[in-house]
Amino acid sequence: MRTTFLPFSPPYISREEIDEVVDTLSSNWITTGPKTKIFESEFAEFLGAESALALNSCTAGLHLALVVSGVGSGDEVITTPMTFCSTVNVIEHVGACPVLVDVEPDTLNISPHLIESVITPRTRAILPVHYTGHPCKMDAIMTIAKEHRLFIIEDAAHALPAQFKGQMIGSIGDLTAFSFYATKNITTAEGGMLTGNQELIEKARGLSLHGMNRDAWKRYDRGGSWYYEVEYPGFKYNMTDIQASIGLQQLKKLDRFQQRRSEIVSRYNDAFSECPYFEIPVEQTYVKHSWHLYVLRLNLETLKINRDQFIEELKDMNIGTSVHFIPIHRHSYYRKKYGFKQEDFPVADSNFLRMLSLPLYPKMSDQDIEDVIEAVLDVAEKYKR
């Protein structure tokens, strides 16, 4: 057993990120400015996206996407219960109503055939979440959206650099929001990016900084003008050049990070795929998985303990884990407001009870990987029926 605790998902920050931040701190500009613009440009180019806007979170990106798409009071937005609360919170923020539909049993992504069954005259948008980094069935979702004239706003917090049928996530729907939170495939500590339609991105750009028509860099840089106007009561969602400095170096390393993630996933799959105690995650042939998370599902009928107890056993063996996610319909606010019941979403709910996320990050050593595998197998063997 390990003698030190293995954390679930620490960031991978190296000398290059530190030097880039120091360079920014030594310059005359530390808030939204030249490095943020470079980061936006390089990110958009990497994805093949029309345009990109750097923000302080993925949540900000989702909120702005709804606002610039015209989603508001009385509208409905279709999304999944198998997501973090921010996906649905932003729907509430614009005064719209979240409409949840269940997920597919293999990927745990939103089920396209259920989407069509809940569309009403009030439906304005579909908000698919690429759960764990496995892309949703975007061709089917796009077809539904086109037929009913709906916006597609993708939650790609997990999905960098995922692909659907050879096309990068971030270059498919109308707008796509990414996360650079500390645990994500690349990080800026906190931060996010909104990609997609250039006209909508430019609308979001103004809204992201108080609704002003000229940002600080344009006002205070040489040749800039002090004058600006507020064209809309906007928000404070901008990314700083300090954050963008980290992002620029992280983006350069993304391919290497992904190679290591894939190696870890392969080791996990080899260890767990033939065990009757587990269901391993899938990767459909038509996608490239970003492997943000490795969600192992317990076959509880083969074990004497439940998921929560399994996690505690691993913690006692110095292995950190997590659960992604507590489904939306189980949270008190949404349960009370909309009357959601667990039986309304049987696939999401039953899978939640048996899932745990194992450590998966580029700086895991080979010994770390073996420690996780050994601990998981030991717990299963100890408590098998």
Q: Same domain, yes or no, for 92 and 216?
A: yes
Assess if residue 112 is contained within a domain: yes
β partners of residue 194: 53, 177
pLDDT-based confidence at 40, cuts 50/70/90?
Answer: very high
- For the question of residue 363 being annotated catalytic, the response is no
Q: What's the pLDDT score for residue 225?
A: 76
Q: Same domain, yes or no, for 126 and 219?
A: yes
Reading the block at residue 72, the tokens are 């508001």
Assess if residue 9 is contained within a domain: no
Q: Distance between CA 41 and CA 34 in Å, rounded?
A: 11
Assess if residue 111 is contained within a domain: yes
Q: Distance between CA 248 and CA 216 in Å, rounded?
A: 21
Per-residue pLDDT tens over the stretch 112-157: 999 999 999 999 999 999 999 999 999 999 999 999 999 999 999 9
Q: Same domain, yes or no, for 141 and 260?
A: no
Question: Is pLDDT of 219 > 90?
Answer: no
Q: List, in order, residues 6 or more apart from 10 with CB less than 8 Å away.
A: 182, 361, 363
Reading the block at residue 80, the tokens are 């999944």
Q: What's the pLDDT score for residue 215?
A: 64
Q: Same domain, yes or no, for 275 and 201?
A: no
Q: Same domain, yes or no, for 240 and 352?
A: no
CB 360 within 8 Å of CB 294: yes
pLDDT-based confidence at 223, cuts 50/70/90?
Answer: low
Assess if residue 193 is contained within a domain: yes
Q: Which residue has the higher pLDDT, 276 or 212?
A: 276
Q: What is the pTM of this model?
A: 0.97
The pLDDT of 375-384, averaged and rounded, is 98
Which CATH number goes with the domain that contains 29? 3.40.640.10
Q: Distance between CA 178 and CA 159 in Å, rounded?
A: 7
Q: What's the pLDDT score for residue 143?
A: 98
Supply the mean pLDDT for the chain. Answer: 96
Q: What's the pLDDT score for residue 213?
A: 79
pLDDT-based confidence at 175, cuts 50/70/90?
Answer: very high
Q: Same domain, yes or no, for 197 and 74?
A: yes
Assess if residue 19 is contained within a domain: yes
Q: Same domain, yes or no, for 179 and 326?
A: no
Q: Same domain, yes or no, for 104 and 170?
A: yes
Assess if residue 122 is contained within a domain: yes
Q: What's the pLDDT score for residue 228?
A: 83
Per-residue pLDDT tens over the stretch 179-208: 999 999 999 999 999 999 999 999 999 999
pLDDT-based confidence at 77, cuts 50/70/90?
Answer: very high
φ and ψ of 261, to 5 deg: -55, -45
Looking at 227, 251, 275, the residue that finishes a domain is: 251
Looking at 222, 251, 280, the residue that finishes a domain is: 251
Helix, strand and coil content of the chain, in percent to the nearest 5, comes to 40, 15, 40
Q: What's the pLDDT score for residue 227?
A: 83
β partners of residue 98: 77
The pLDDT of 359-381, averaged and rounded, is 98
| Sign of the torsion formed by the C-alpha atoms of 57, 63, 67 and 69 | positive
Domains contained in the chain, number:
2
Boundaries of domain holding 219: 15-251
Per-residue pLDDT tens over the stretch 306-341: 999 999 999 999 999 999 999 999 999 999 999 999
Per-residue pLDDT tens over the stretch 47-75: 999 999 999 999 999 999 999 999 999 99
Tokens 């048996």 — which residue? 354
Q: Same domain, yes or no, for 139 and 241?
A: yes
Q: What's the pLDDT score for residue 221?
A: 64
Q: Same domain, yes or no, for 187 and 94?
A: yes
Q: Same domain, yes or no, for 110 and 171?
A: yes
Which CATH number goes with the domain that contains 260? 3.90.1150.10
Assess if residue 349 is contained within a domain: yes
Assess if residue 369 is contained within a domain: yes
Report percent pLDDT > 90 for the chain. Answer: 94
Q: Which amino acid is at 66?
A: L
Residue of 211, 220, 223 whose CA lies nearest to 30: 220
Per-residue pLDDT tens over the stretch 163-172: 999 999 999 9
Q: Which of 35, 184, 203, 288 is catalytic?
A: 184
Q: What's the pLDDT score for residue 137?
A: 98
Q: Same domain, yes or no, for 51 and 175?
A: yes
Looking at 251, 275, 293, the residue that finishes a domain is: 251
